[in-house]
């Protein structure tokens, strides 16, 4: 299945503005480099990574409400999802209830190493902070975000960042990125917790582990190598792989060679932000 990432939010903005919703684009990420430095007593792992936002994205709609309601694709029936967790942690931090209607349009594949859940959580923190005028700065939202998930602080800042600690140390950096990334995601879900557990037991890195569990990972990696890309690797714990190239023509050639992949292929571009507000709050509410 071939997916080209084409964002046309302008088609929806007229509708969004009329009903007073906040419309957010939550960009995925790839880990240009990733190393596990050790495990802490609390079970978290110290990591070091260069992380990059890309324009593969989920879309979220937020509106003040009398009671919280979550709708859309891949919303859990209970509260075991990062959107709900982010809202709850923000309520605890602000000392007040922050009810919203939240609608998720899911595009980023689940358990793919692309950070979709964490991106949605970061979008929730940013949107509710704006809607309720909590006035928390980015640094504070990142501090709150790490209580939701280790990847969340990166998405608060986005762009290109050096990430350390358990994910709470985020430093924006400048670097020249390829114009395009070809992302190949084999149809095999690799749960992050499971992959870290296997790393603890075997000492093997995620690329080797993912290749052993999912043969397509090794196959795609070797295929990408033939093109001598500027950047190549596994994103997070996988199974998604990325290949950074400088031209659209080369990207098309690579994509053509992935026609037999049992999975999804995305053509993406690097982004300067993790969370993009496409439509601001336009309504006045007494809630």
Active site amino acids: 29, 151
d(CA 152, CA 156): 7
- Alpha carbon dihedral 144, 146, 152, 158, in 10-degree steps, equals 80
The neighbour count for residue 226, using CB atoms within 10 Å, is 9
Cis bond before residue 239 (omega within 30° of 0): yes
d(CA 97, CA 88): 9
Strand, helix or coil for residue 70: strand
d(CA 102, CA 60): 7
Q: Apex CA 107: angle with CA 101 and CA 108, to 5°?
A: 110
């Amino acid at each position: 299945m071939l997916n080209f990432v084409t964002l046309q939010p302008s088609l929806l903005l007229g509708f969004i503005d009329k009903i007073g919703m906040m419309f957010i684009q939550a960009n995925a990420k790839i880990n240009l480099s990733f190393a596990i430095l050790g495990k802490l007593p609390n079970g978290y792992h110290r990591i070091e990574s260069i992380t990059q936002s890309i324009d593969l994205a989920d879309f979220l709609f937020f509106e003040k409400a009398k009671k919280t309601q979550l709708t859309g694709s891949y919303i859990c029936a209970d509260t075991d999802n990062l959107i709900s967790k982010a809202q709850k942690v923000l309520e605890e931090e602000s000392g007040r209830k922050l009810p919203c209607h939240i609608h998720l349009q899911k595009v980023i594949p689940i358990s793919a190493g692309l950070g979709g859940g964490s991106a949605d959580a970061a979008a929730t923190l940013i949107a509710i902070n704006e809607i309720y005028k909590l006035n928390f700065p980015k640094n504070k939202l990142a501090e709150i975000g790490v209580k939701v998930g280790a990847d969340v602080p990166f998405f608060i800042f986005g762009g290109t960042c050096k990430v350390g600690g358990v994910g709470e140390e985020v430093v924006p950096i400048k670097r020249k990125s390829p114009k395009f990334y070809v992302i190949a995601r084999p149809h095999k879900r690799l749960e992050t917790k499971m992959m870290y557990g296997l790393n603890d037991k075997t000492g093997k890195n995620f690329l080797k582990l993912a290749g052993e569990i999912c043969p397509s990972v090794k196959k795609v990696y070797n295929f990408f190598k033939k093109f001598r890309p500027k950047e190549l690797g596994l994103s997070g714990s996988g199974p998604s792989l990325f290949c950074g190239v400088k031209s659209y023509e080369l990207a098309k050639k690579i994509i053509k060679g992935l026609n037999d992949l049992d999975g999804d292929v995305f053509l993406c571009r690097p982004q300067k932000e993790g969370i993009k507000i496409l439509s601001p709050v336009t309504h006045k509410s007494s809630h």
